[in-house]
Structure 1
Amino acid sequence: MGILAVIRENLPPKPTFKVDDVPDLEGKVIIITGANAGEKLRQRRQVYPQHGVVYIAGRSQERVEQAIQDIKAETGKDALFLKLDLADLTSVKAAAEEFQRKETRLDVLYNNAGVLGPPIADVTAQGYDLQFGTNTLGHFYFTKLLLPTLLASAKTSPDGKVRVINVSSAAHHWHHGSIDFNILKDCPARKKKSGLMLYGQSKLGNILFSNELFRRYAHEGVISTSIHPGNLRSDLYRHMSRIENFVVNLILYPSAMGALTLLWAGTTDEGLTLGGKYLIPWARVGTPNASARDPKLAEELWTWMEEQVQNI
């Protein structure tokens, strides 16, 4: 089943869902993390709806604001900058507080940012493995801090729902077994692991977090889904060697196609039925690996992440 699932994810059929199928999102407030760089910008620009209020959350104000200008010039759509460094939990806290000073509602949170294959010595500001700290723990804390706004927005939404879209990857299949909690902070054992294994572990963490978020808050209107957006041409692979990049590029799709599954989950009526699901290209329901479907592991990871952020 694992091999078949990977093939199904990485060799998708022609999409039936189109960007034109996105409904009007007037009055909606949306946050997208990490949507300001290179190919990722060209992919994510389609996520910015007409009539909605969109915040792009990223580390570099200069790069995000340049991205916003480019989007507006090409599409007429506008967006707002929110400073966020997911590799620093104090920055995550500051970003959530800044957003809550500006807005009283949040309808869709796209936990989209990510890092793949940085130098193994790189860690977050608080000493966590850079990939897990950025991709998983940072997004957990950001979502946790925004939960009061999400829950309040669900109560006033016509459908009684809000959405959290957690971008994972087919790379979670690279990591077999449980989360190794002993290597999530820097230690000699972590340095012996491969960067791809650590990336896969962080993407497994995205799915587990998404599932547990839905389990805990579905009854209050939070529709949480995890997504493999597709193997896309982007700057995500910038840390790979020239040979690795050559091989990877043989199976990559145009970056703009990555918006399809995100838009399907984040904007459509059908998306409201996808809570707790793992979605794959292009706008389909997939099957993650067995570890990602383990409710005990999801609860264990949630508890661990709660403990990491409680004193920030």
Structure 2
Amino acid sequence: MGITYSILTEIFPPKSQFDPERDIPDLSDQVMIVTGGYTGIGYHTVKALLVKGAKVYIAGRNKDKGEKAIAQLKQETNGKEALFLELDLANLKSVQNAAAEFVRREGRLHVLFNNGGVSTPPVSDVTSDGYDLQFGTNVVGHFYFTKLLLPILLATAKTTTSGKVRVVSTSSMAHLMGDLDFATFRDGPARKKKSTLMLYAQSKFGNVVLSNQLAKRYGDQGIVSTSLHPGILRTELGRHLSTIEQLLLSTMCYDPPYGALTQLWAGATDEGLKYNGMYLIPWAREGRPNPRTNDEKTGDELWTWLEEQVKDIAS
């Protein structure tokens, strides 16, 4: 009953009561990162943050797309200019380099939007480090990026009026049909037996579990960690779906700006500071995650596994 209710209310959300222009305060003293910020909901998230005066880094692997987005955003925001940070979440060395470059350039980080990701690519696709492309990008890459930025996040929390900073992780309604099969995180026979949709659901399940663990482990040090479903949207994320799947989804899809609403609410409003460890749904509401994402044993096992994966990345 709980999951059925959650699916219905996430597919058919009521009209949003949240208005970014009205409800987001001045952000002119804040520094933020949006992974995957040059397209889709990431682009619209960056745009809203720039309008409110934030210093925003668009983190992504395609510098050309990043520069084009920055130029377009500058036109659309009366001269507000985002910055590009080269980051390939499917390459852990690139993740390490991106975090080091950000710390070199900045002394503060108020909000990390773990927004980027991949959806339903061919099952044959893996990361440069040998992980399933979806789990490696959506979970492992974001975990490592967040881990490397924790020192600057925690230091920044000590300087804010609220004593808090935020990590906002974009998951999906697909996590409701997901779980964790550790044998499929890396390439191998078990992974190849899974459908790309189930591997996607697993990665989005992992996003929620990881967000919950971050909230549990660092909430008392000022980290506010939330995960969310942004909505069913017309974005590039579904480009690997079949034509029939895309047509079916299009009947219930919303335009990309709607997808930015919930993560802006979580990451840029005073109210969003209250939702540490919560799962949020369209449009800017508290939701009900898959109950298995709150299992302490599962969370501890995933965190331990992830720590093991990144402990020996050469500097």
Q: Shorter-chain TM-score category?
A: over 0.9
Q: Runs of 5+ in structure 2 lacking a partner?
A: none
**Structure 2 equivalent of residue 7 of structure 1:** 8
Cα offset, 1:276, TM superposition: 0.2
**Equivalent of residue 114 in structure 2, options 107, 111, 125:** 111
Are positions 1:30 and 2:32 aligned together? yes
TM alignment of 1:50-199, pairs within 5 A: 50-76=52-78, 77-175=80-178, 178-199=179-200
Distance 2:290 2:161 in 1: 35
Amino acid of the residue matched to residue 196 of structure 1? L
**Identity within the alignment, %:** 54
Secondary structure of 2:32's counterpart equals strand
Distance 1:31 1:238, change over 3 A: same
Cα offset, 1:48, TM superposition: 3.2
**Structure 2 equivalent of residue 287 of structure 1:** 288
**Structure 1 equivalent of residue 203 of structure 2:** 202
Contact 1:151 1:221 in 2 (8 A): yes
Distance 1:211 1:49, change over 3 A: farther
**Structure 2 equivalent of residue 227 of structure 1:** 228
Secondary structure of 1:156's counterpart equals coil
Amino acid of the residue matched to residue 87 of structure 1? A
**Structure 2 equivalent of residue 218 of structure 1:** 219
Contact 1:40 1:234 in 2 (8 A): no
Distance 1:32 1:127 in 2: 25
Contact 1:30 1:54 in 2 (8 A): yes
Cα shift readout 1:192-244 (whole Å, capped 9, x = no counterpart): 10000000000000000000001000111000000111111100001111111
Distance 1:62 1:227 in 2: 29
Distance 1:28 1:4 in 2: 37
Residues paired across the two proteins, number: 310
Distance 2:186 2:210 in 1: 18
Secondary structure of 1:48's counterpart equals helix
Distance 1:103 1:5 in 2: 40
Distance 1:302 1:222 in 2: 17
Distance 1:42 1:221 in 2: 27
**Structure 1 equivalent of residue 264 of structure 2:** 263
Distance 1:152 1:141, change over 3 A: same
**Structure 1 equivalent of residue 278 of structure 2:** 277
Cα offset, 1:42, TM superposition: 4.5
TM-score normalised according to structure 2 size? 0.96
Supply the RMSD in Å over aligned alpha carbons: 1.2
Distance 1:80 1:5 in 2: 37
Distance 1:99 1:40, change over 3 A: closer
Cα shift readout 1:258-296 (whole Å, capped 9, x = no counterpart): 111111111111111000000000110000112112122
Secondary structure of 2:64's counterpart equals helix
Contact 1:46 1:256 in 2 (8 A): no
Amino acid of the residue matched to residue 228 of structure 1? H
Amino acid of the residue matched to residue 14 of structure 2? P
Distance 1:47 1:296 in 2: 37
Cα shift readout 1:96-135 (whole Å, capped 9, x = no counterpart): 0000000011000000001001111100010000000000
